[in-house]
Structure 1
Amino acid sequence: MFTRMKTSLSQIHRYSWVSLSVCWLIWILNAYDREIVLRLGPSISETFDLSPDTWGVIASLIMLALAVMPIAGSAMSDRHGGGHKRAAFQVPLVIGTTALAFLSGFKTVSHNIVAFIAIRVGVNLGAGWGEPVGVSNTAEWWPRERRGFALGAHHTGYPIGSLLSGVAGAAVLTWFGDDGWSYAFFFSLVFAVPIMLFWRKYSTRDKIDTLYADIEAKGLTAPEVITETDERPKGILRKVLTTPQITGTAVTTMLTQIVYMGVNTVLPLYLHNIVGLSLAESAGLSVVFTLTGIVGQVLWPTLSDLFGRRVTIVICGIWMAVSVGCLYFATTSVLVVVVQLAFGLVANAVWPVYYATASDAAPEGGTSTANGVITTAMFIGGGIAPVLMGRLVGLGGGWEESTGYVYTFLCMAGFALIGALIPLFIRHVRPAAPDTGQATAAR
């Protein structure tokens, strides 16, 4: 059984497409600033002579900073107002985050381990805060029936940003040598300022009113957006946290993020220490999965609009478990590429499905808060992953022994499988059906 789409993408209003394009560019910058630290993991470890456990703790601290602000920051964003008002909240947040990232590019900062950790924690505080705000901005400019597609297309920016982090990391190491790794942090601010100034000017009440009228005229469902602070219902966070569809999806999100961040943490080091690639080669080859990730992030969220979020989450979770487990057999660069391409088809695709699930189930006026819960769970998983992977690598004999990497691959496969089973025990709400404009009951 599936939901037939009444309006093709060609009929979607141009305001939706412009907002999607802007939020997509913002997402690329967010992904780049978060992922570049992991791409440079071998270089950073060599600069400061870090053991696997020590690097795992440092990476974990930096990644856990992503989990600090999403819920509180999302609630602040909701209180400020949705729709056209959310851009005004988003602009200084993105510019401030990329400015901090720029600062960490200077060697006087990056080659002092205390200053480096402090600045990168600051960057991730802003990046974690900005993610659910950006997701909500995308969701609020598209009809509910096309929410999966919109969030999937938006999230293709993440594998692109991740890919660019690998390319930039490899290029910087090639041009400036192993000691010049920090220069890769300079890029994002240059692009962030003009993008955000455009978005602040573009996002207006007139545009959002015109867009919602167009959505309803085509028989689709406009998002439920509260633009005035005094209209916002009370107790939004409590309602969000007592919605099983949101909290259950958050647990699955946490487990999946352990897998995703575990691969990002371990793979560059595996390629350098076990496969035998140079630092520059390992930084570049560790992001091959992003190529198919771009395809998967459009395919699976769109299918979730048709066949349901739950079925899509289960299929992607099983696929992820199998593909990560196959890294056990990837002992050559060719096999690493093949397995990564299979992993990539679902690696990035699950996040927009999780966000669409939370957005579908969010109480009125709580879209960003619901997405903030998903983001927090995701980043808690991201913080757990480096410590866990570093410990497993250490138990297996350290950086240069393959046993520890095998432990990490099998552990990640298990987490992915558990995450795939959780949605089977949670009642899910379908996206609104196009012919009625109302959400139907879950299967």
Structure 2
Amino acid sequence: MAASDRPASGPAQGAPRNRGRVPATAVGALVFLWLVYAMNANTRQIFYYVLPPMVKEFNLTPDQAGIVSTIVTVAVALVAIPAGAWFDRGGHGWARKYRNAIVAAGYFLFSILTGIAALTKTIWHVVVIQSIKNAFGGAGEAVEVTSMVEWYPVEKRGLALGIQHAAYPWGTGLGAIATGAILAAFGPENWRYVFLIIPLAMIPIWIGWWWYSSPKRYKKFEDDTRAAGLTKPLAGGAGVEQRHAEPGTLRRSLANPNILVPALASMFGIMIYTGISFWLPQYIAFVGGFSFAEAAAYSAVFTITGGIGQIFWGIVSDYIGRKLSLIIAFLWLAIGLYLLRFSAVSVTVLVVVQLIAGLATNAIFPVLYAFGSDSAEPGAMGTANSILLFFLYVGGVSPLILGWLIGLGGGFTSETGYFYGLYFLVAVAVISAIIIALFTRETVGRFKDRDRALVSRERTHVRPGLPQE
């Protein structure tokens, strides 16, 4: 390609890379996309917060509770991969809001329907409605992450995704507090009120994002990014003109170790995160003696440092690299998981242990998304992120495994089965660190050229500059 034909996607000539100030338009998009993602996450996470009263109302065994949680969680992956290609064909940058709004309306509607008693007379009615809602939510997460990537300078991608993904621990932490307040005010038998009240916050948030995400504002973001000496994320102009991926993108993406291995690691990561969400409320309620309202509220303490960990490792990954950051974070997570075995001793121990574990529980996900985005073909970041999203929520099988292990160890009131489950999650974290170390290539950071792995750099399509043109 001749120099005159190349898209002007990089920093201005002679401008210092990584030193420019992030445009205000990008920061504004980050605020809105944080809120959008927070509500998507809350419509999924509140199910786990109200699981103890559902266990009581529907008289569920540990195995049944595990099966229910698994079905609802894995449903997040149902339409992720086809939705990713659909999103990529619908426009980029500011224009992603159109198809994002469709799936957001879906997870909003089915959240509200869960709160209608006439529609949730049995646990299986709840499972069907929540599974449909989560299918919309999974597709929504993929496009919301991709929107964030396309609204922020390339050099600050890890930072942006780290802050946006802090909506899962911090935004859902607020949801846990709200859930505890609703259960305390109306009684745990009225857990359906949680699904009627919390999703209403989506309405003003989406009105704001629809207004903000405009072609005029996106062009200003691109102009300001180049003026700051930073790299705009799309090669085309004003977002929607970004060229689409070539035929066969999905196949080539699945064959790329830098997309497939992070996808597998994301699967293991959500096995851990969903496992904790299933494991901890039951453990402190049935073994530790906490009330259901307390179990819902205290189960989200790790979200305090969860957000800090995401932002910290997102920033660090921009400098030392995605791969090294992930290896360290997964090993830290293994240690934090082991310490959770002491969480039923007292409120103080519960809080301290969660704060330690929280530094890594959520930190892996924005770095994994950044890893996949770095390695995606032009116009195919939505496809790459959807692959990660699909594998990620296949990891929702962990409640099924944990429910079986809890039952094997004596049931809900015996700590033995909970320990079996915890050791399983520790092993998963260690395995994740190992496969990332051996089978991926670093994409950014000061250690990129020192990477030694069992796969060639050519197979991973790692390139010297981003975005690929």
In the alignment, which of 205, 227, 232 is matched to residue 217 of structure 1?
A: 227
Residues 365-384 of structure 1 mapped to structure 2, 5 A cutoff: 365-382=379-396, 384=397
CA distance in 2, matches of 1:188, 1:195: 13
- Name 1:268's counterpart in structure 2: 281
Residues 94-148 of structure 1, C-alpha deviation per residue, up to 9 Å, x if partnerless? 1221121012112222333232211111110110010010000000011110000
CA distance in 2, matches of 1:49, 1:225: 56
CA distance in 2, matches of 1:340, 1:421: 24
Residue 358, structure 1, aligned to residue 358, structure 2: no
- Name 2:192's counterpart in structure 1: 182
CA distance in 2, matches of 1:151, 1:244: 21
Structure 2 counterpart of 1:360, one-letter code:
D
In the alignment, which of 58, 63, 72 is matched to residue 73 of structure 2?
A: 63
Structure 1 counterpart of 2:105, one-letter code:
I
Structure 2 counterpart of 1:149, one-letter code:
L
Cα drift, residue 231 of structure 1? 4.5
* Sequence identity (%): 33
Structure 2 counterpart of 1:385, one-letter code:
S
Kept in 2: contact 1:145–1:432 (CA 8 A): no
CA distance in 1, matches of 2:377, 2:242: 16
Residues 74-89 of structure 1 mapped to structure 2, 5 A cutoff: 74-89=84-99
Kept in 2: contact 1:239–1:363 (CA 8 A): no
Cα drift, residue 74 of structure 1? 1.1
Kept in 1: contact 2:81–2:390 (CA 8 A): yes
Structure 2 counterpart of 1:402, one-letter code:
E
Residues 53-100 of structure 1, C-alpha deviation per residue, up to 9 Å, x if partnerless? 001101111111101111111110001111111011112221221121
- Name 1:298's counterpart in structure 2: 311
Residue 242, structure 1, aligned to residue 265, structure 2: no
CA distance in 1, matches of 2:210, 2:41: 21
Residues 405-424 of structure 1 mapped to structure 2, 5 A cutoff: 405-424=418-437
Structure 1 counterpart of 2:429, one-letter code:
A
Cα drift, residue 232 of structure 1? 4.0
Residues 384-399 of structure 1 mapped to structure 2, 5 A cutoff: 384-399=397-412
Kept in 2: contact 1:152–1:298 (CA 8 A): yes
Residues 171-213 of structure 1, C-alpha deviation per residue, up to 9 Å, x if partnerless? 1221111210110112344221222233223222222222222
Residues 36-435 of structure 1 mapped to structure 2, 5 A cutoff: 36-224=46-234, 227-228=240-241, 231-333=244-346, 334-382=348-396, 384-431=397-444
Residues 213-237 of structure 1, C-alpha deviation per residue, up to 9 Å, x if partnerless? 2222322221135624875422221
- Name 1:34's counterpart in structure 2: 44
How many residues align? The count is: 431
Structure 2 counterpart of 1:220, one-letter code:
L
Kept in 1: contact 2:245–2:377 (CA 8 A): no
Cα drift, residue 431 of structure 1? 3.5
CA distance in 2, matches of 1:126, 1:293: 25
Structure 2, unmatched stretches of 5+, are 1-15, 447-462
> SS at 2:93's partner residue?
coil
Kept in 1: contact 2:175–2:198 (CA 8 A): no
CA distance in 1, matches of 2:180, 2:445: 45
Kept in 2: contact 1:262–1:385 (CA 8 A): yes
Kept in 1: contact 2:89–2:244 (CA 8 A): no
Kept in 2: contact 1:95–1:189 (CA 8 A): no
Cα drift, residue 239 of structure 1? 2.1
CA distance in 2, matches of 1:325, 1:231: 45
> How big is the alpha-carbon RMSD for the aligned residues of Structure 1 and Structure 2?
1.9
> SS at 1:233's partner residue?
coil
Structure 1 counterpart of 2:74, one-letter code:
L
CA distance in 2, matches of 1:390, 1:380: 17
Structure 1 counterpart of 2:465, one-letter code:
A
Structure 2 counterpart of 1:359, one-letter code:
S
CA distance in 1, matches of 2:235, 2:408: 50
CA distance in 2, matches of 1:432, 1:325: 31
Shift of the 239–207 alpha-carbon distance from structure 1 to 2, 3 Å rule, reads farther
Cα drift, residue 287 of structure 1? 0.8
Shift of the 432–87 alpha-carbon distance from structure 1 to 2, 3 Å rule, reads farther
In the alignment, which of 19, 22, 25 is matched to residue 7 of structure 1?
A: 19
CA distance in 2, matches of 1:325, 1:212: 45
Shift of the 303–228 alpha-carbon distance from structure 1 to 2, 3 Å rule, reads same
CA distance in 2, matches of 1:289, 1:379: 21
Kept in 2: contact 1:429–1:439 (CA 8 A): no
